[in-house]
Copies of this chain bind each other. A is one copy, B any other.
Amino acid sequence: MTVLQEQGAAAKLAAAKMALADTETKNKALLAIADALLTHQDEWLEANAADWEAAKAEGMNDSMLDRLKLTKERIEGIAEGVRQAAALPDPIGTVTKEIERPNGLKIQQKRVPLGVIGMIFEARPNVAVDAAVLCLKAGNACILRGGRESIRSNTCAESIMRAALESAGLPADAVSLVKDTSRESAKEMMHLEGYIDVLIPRGGAGLIRSVSKEASVPVIRTGEGVCHVYVDSEADIPMAAKIVYNAKCSRPSVCNAVECVVLHKSIAEAFFNKILPLLDEKNVEIRGDAKICNILGTRAKEAAEEDWDTEYNDYILAAKTVREPQEAIDFINAHGTQHSECIVTANAETAAQFLDQVDAAAVYWNASTRFTDGFEFGLGAEIGISTQKLHARGPMGLEELTSWKYYVCGDGQIR
């Protein structure tokens, strides 16, 4: 057995125990984790400082360095998130279907945990805790594999969580970290059949794509977001400008930020008159089609073909004109990533056409795409935003970390 197979086998045994744990015990473990993160924050900060120094010495850029950094305040925020997860209702054990058959068989479909969840993620050290805690609350075990740059922080978080689990009478092996951060270990994890029930990659588009291509264990694709706002001929222009500005500029690095505005040609000029002062404030670069370059002159660059498929994660906005709503719908279905897509219009019929025909996890009418988020949707948690149609679509909360099992009770029935 390889190190990772042994880790998988231990996680599988732990998952069997977690599946039987009652809500009270799981919550006790979560609260113990929250407390321990605070009690041991000096250790965690020290480990993180070592990661940070090493990354800086290797020339990591400032925005990545900021993501990597833990502070007292951030640790308090993480611990508060753990407490909130403890307060959420437990999805496990709920009867989701009840069937009584003419032959007397009583069938119940009950929610059960998925089992062992593998998480592959990049720099941010909070992900190790946030993700583990949601897995645990839904009765799962998890195997975490963070990036090389946060290995010291993650190793420290792992030992804090494992000790807290044991103190609550749950198996430490319900959380474990892959210590080998080589590409080979990630690859082995993608093929850990029989041990990992589902693998959730969290990070950039490159990571997500390579995991879904390579993995033979089931994968949930998350977080690739080339999102659009379509501004219809019947849009309220100030509302459209406000929504596009918010969707682009409130946090450009996240997956629910907008990358491309699609404009009905009749309102393109009026829309830019309204939004340009806002975009200028943030120095947003505009990459437009010919008509838009015509309107904006040197304020816009000409968009290349690949612009329509690019997730900028930056202060760049692609802009495209269309002659009718159907053209916008077709364009979005051709270039979107099935994440979040919005129409701004006062016309309910046009809105319905857009919402029904655009193929995405979340479709918006007159609201910013930035709301696609487990907390904003009221799920109380989020482990990622699925952009696939299998199992879960859109923000994934606790229910999306479960499966079901049929309980069939009889008194000797045969077929």
- A197 sits at the interface (CB 8 A): yes
Expressed in whole angstroms, the Cα–Cα distance for A71 and B101 within the complex equals: 32
Q: Which residues of B contact A367 (CB under 8 A)?
A: 105, 408-414
A186 → B minimal CB distance (Å): 16
Interface string of A41-84 (1 = CB under 8 A from B): 00000000000000000000000000000000000000000000
- Select from chain B the residue with minimum beta-carbon distance to A198: B390
Q: Are A218 and B390 in contact (CB under 8 A)?
A: yes
Q: Are A412 and B242 in contact (CB under 8 A)?
A: yes
Q: Are B357 and A218 in contact (CB under 8 A)?
A: no
- Select from chain B the residue with minimum beta-carbon distance to A212: B216
**Given A197-B389, A212-B216, A376-B101, also A246-B404 (CB < 8 A):** no
Pick from A25-33, A151-159, A267-275, A358-366 the stretch touching chain B.
A358-366
- A243 sits at the interface (CB 8 A): yes
- Besides A107-B378, A218-B390, A368-B415, 7 more A-B contacts (Cβ < 8 Å) are A198-B389, A218-B388, A243-B412, A361-B405, A362-B406, A390-B403, A394-B405
What are 21 A-B pairs with beta-carbon distances under 8 A? A16-B333, A16-B359, A19-B356, A101-B377, A107-B377, A114-B390, A197-B388, A197-B389, A218-B218, A218-B389, A243-B414, A365-B409, A366-B409, A366-B412, A368-B414, A368-B415, A370-B415, A371-B408, A389-B403, A391-B391, A393-B404
Q: Are A410 and B364 in contact (CB under 8 A)?
A: yes
Q: Are A410 and B365 in contact (CB under 8 A)?
A: yes
- A183 sits at the interface (CB 8 A): no
- A283 sits at the interface (CB 8 A): no
Q: Are A408 and B246 in contact (CB under 8 A)?
A: no
Checking B20, B115, B365, B366 against A356 with a beta-carbon cut-off of 8 angstroms, the contacting residue is B20
A217 → B minimal CB distance (Å): 9
Q: Which residues of B contact A107 (CB under 8 A)?
A: 377-378
Q: Are B390 and A390 in contact (CB under 8 A)?
A: yes
Q: Which residues of B contact A405 (CB under 8 A)?
A: 360-363, 393-394
- A284 sits at the interface (CB 8 A): no
Q: Which residues of B contact A370 (CB under 8 A)?
A: 414-415
Expressed in whole angstroms, the Cα–Cα distance for A378 and B102 within the complex equals: 10
Query: Which 3 pairs of residues, A with B, have the shortest CB-CB distance?
Result: A367-B410, A246-B414, A389-B403
Interface string of A342-356 (1 = CB under 8 A from B): 000000000000011
- In the complex, which range does the number of interface residues on chain A fall in? 35 or more
A343 → B minimal CB distance (Å): 10
Looking at chain A's contact residues, is the secondary structure mostly helix, strand, loop, or mixed?
A: mixed
Q: Which residues of B contact A363 (CB under 8 A)?
A: 405-408
- Select from chain B the residue with minimum beta-carbon distance to A220: B390
Interface string of A279-310 (1 = CB under 8 A from B): 00000000000000000000000000000000
Q: Which residues of B contact A372 (CB under 8 A)?
A: 406
**Given A367-B408, A406-B362, also A242-B414 (CB < 8 A):** yes
Q: Are A246 and B393 in contact (CB under 8 A)?
A: no
- Select from chain B the residue with minimum beta-carbon distance to A218: B390
A139 → B minimal CB distance (Å): 12
Q: Which residues of B contact A243 (CB under 8 A)?
A: 412, 414
Expressed in whole angstroms, the Cα–Cα distance for A405 and B177 within the complex equals: 34
- List A125-139 residues whose CB lies under 8 Å from chain B: none
Instruction: Give the most central of A212, A365, A372, A410: most B CB within 10 Å.
Output: A410
Q: Which residues of B contact A408 (CB under 8 A)?
A: 362-365, 367, 371
- A236 sits at the interface (CB 8 A): yes
Q: Which residues of B contact A412 (CB under 8 A)?
A: 236, 239, 242-243, 366-367
